[in-house]
Chain A
């Protein structure tokens, strides 16, 4: 236990209070999102707006979930399929690649690393038109595979960069002793290195999931069938058809950020370390 002087205690107290105020101010939009979803249609347009709902209602959720107008459940299932697909594809490809880039000294290595770095920086609009045409010929448009394949192009370089820094920091002696115990390259990788790298792998998986979950542009381009569209594309089209009913849309939004909040609660610590490693050291 560290004993703080009275002055230091007071300082810490005021710092904590200011930090809480900063967070409340900064995160107010998210509060507003949730609160709006619980208001009635009439209360939405009140001036001045009410900071807390006069009457809490879950009607918005009921209309969205069970109403005929727009099926939220279906949209979220589609988003989940696309996000999980992106996660699986990206993880399967990027774990071995990042291990290879971190552990083997082979000709061309510098170039491979550069290729992953550059692709990470390219905008989705760049690959949109050619992929749309290619997917059309391959009859992939309007299948879940189309956005999954495209989302993985963002998730893979990101994961490779994060995981590579992770594998580099693992001590070389681990591998050597595994070799002495009779492991070959593959079994060393699977039995020794991969289990230690789990925190890094989790971060890569989480971000791959979030890329798929939040994607709008690929879904909008490749999926015109409304029964296949994820919530992002669904909500975007929903905007166009009628006057905006904000409470319904915010109910949608509230549910869509649940994975973000859950992820945040459970693996916050890993995200910060994984992110700073990957982004700065490149």
Chain B
């Protein structure tokens, strides 16, 4: 018994040690960096000054961090609402049985697998003022009178990124919800129909309650994946115009590798970490209640 236990550890430890070195260590090191003054000048020297909470104070004095937090939260919540609603609609549609349902449902997943950089460029072109297809379609349909400055105007820039990310996230929501829908036994619906329930009642009384575990994990996972957005924002707007689309991840990157202020970059990353860590804990608590082992 003791020997087979030992073998169990041999199987797990290489990957575990790898993750501790390349993720665990950076998390700890980030916390240290946040309390020191480390920049491009003293990165290799031993004389890095301890500054306490100064980095965090500076960040909040500059004010961009508050904007980035607000932007990230707004972006995440709106994206999830859109992705989930559209994904659910498509899942309800594609969970019906018809000749092409499975094949076409799979086809939609391509948008989720595309490299983020390419998706971002694609949308940047479609939103552009010169030759952008989105404005031209909206003009043709007389929905708008003159071209919208999608990526140039502050408020619109955020919505442009939200639209692009919704396109990326819909398949993930759709696939998980479809799987959930298919596993609901048919006879539950049939007996409800015999009791005289209509489609809307069936949806709210049967579908939604039975899908609740799927929906909750989906929303939390969606939040986590959306909150750490980087590629889309960097390529589409790079945080601009002004700070209109600056997110925590892009701000952290700019501080570390644009201004080479590694300490402040790390401090922003720490704020991002704390927020995601709290949400991850909530998710883990939920998953472990259902089934971890």
Contacts and interface: CB of A to CB of B under 8 A. Distances in A.
Contact of A123 (B140, B230, B266): B230
Interface residues of B, number: 100
B62 interface: no
Nearest to B247: A125
Which of B96, B114, B170 has the most C-beta atoms of chain A within 10 angstroms of its own C-beta? Answer: B114
A87 interface: no
Contacts of A131: 22, 26
A132 interface: yes
A257 B109 contact: no
Given A22-B93, A256-B115, A257-B118, A27 B110 contact: yes
Contact of A280 (B14, B133, B217): B217
A106 B133 contact: no
A275 B178 CA distance: 12
B29 interface: yes
Which of A99, A160, A246 has the most C-beta atoms of chain B within 10 angstroms of its own C-beta? Answer: A246
B231 interface: yes
Given A19-B100, A46-B131, A130-B33, A97 B230 contact: no
B25 to A, nearest CB: 7
Contacts of A121: 224, 276, 280, 283
Contacts, number: 302
A250 interface: yes
A29 B12 contact: no
Contacts of B139: 48
A280 B283 CA distance: 11
B276 A122 contact: yes
A162 interface: no
Given A101-B12, A125-B249, A216-B235, A16 B98 contact: yes
B133 A118 contact: no
Contacts of B8: 100, 103-104, 106
A269 B105 CA distance: 11
Contact of A217 (B106, B230, B283, B292): B230
Nearest to B12: A100
A32 interface: yes
A241 interface: no
Contacts of A40: none
Contacts of A125: 228, 230, 248-249, 252-253, 268-269, 272
Q: Is the interface of A mostly helix, strand, loop or mixed?
A: helix
Nearest to A240: B238
Contact of B117 (A19, A99, A214, A268): A214
A249 interface: yes
Interface in B129-171: 130-131, 133, 136, 139-140, 167, 170
Given A106-B5, A118-B284, A123-B276, A20 B100 contact: yes
A261 interface: yes
B85 interface: no
A45 interface: yes
A128 interface: yes
Interface residues of A, number: 101
A202 B114 CA distance: 18
Contact of A153 (B19, B43, B170, B179): B19
B176 interface: yes
A100 B130 contact: no
A272 B93 CA distance: 17
Interface string A52-93: 000000000000000000000000000000000000000001
Contacts of B197: none
Across chains A and B, which 8 residue pairs bring their CB atoms closest together, nearest first? A100-B11, A104-B8, A123-B228, A214-B115, A97-B15, A130-B26, A130-B29, A127-B26
Interface of B: 4-5, 7-12, 14-16, 18-20, 22-27, 29-30, 33, 38, 43-44, 90, 93-94, 96, 98-101, 104, 106-111, 113-119, 121-123, 125-126, 128, 130-131, 133, 136, 139-140, 167, 170, 175-176, 179-180, 213-214, 217, 221, 224, 227-228, 230-231, 234-235, 248-249, 252-253, 256-257, 262, 265-266, 268-269, 272-273, 276-277, 280, 283-284, 287-288, 291-293
20 contacts: A12-B98, A20-B100, A26-B111, A49-B133, A93-B15, A96-B11, A97-B11, A113-B293, A116-B15, A119-B23, A121-B280, A122-B273, A126-B27, A127-B30, A128-B257, A133-B38, A153-B23, A156-B18, A216-B117, A268-B106
Interface of A: 11-12, 15-16, 18-20, 22-23, 26-27, 29-30, 32-33, 36, 44-49, 93-94, 96-97, 99-101, 103-104, 106, 109-110, 112-119, 121-134, 136-137, 149-150, 152-153, 156-157, 160, 185-186, 189, 210, 213-214, 216-217, 220-221, 231-232, 235-236, 239, 244, 246, 249-250, 253, 256-257, 260-261, 263-264, 268-269, 271-272, 275-276, 279-282
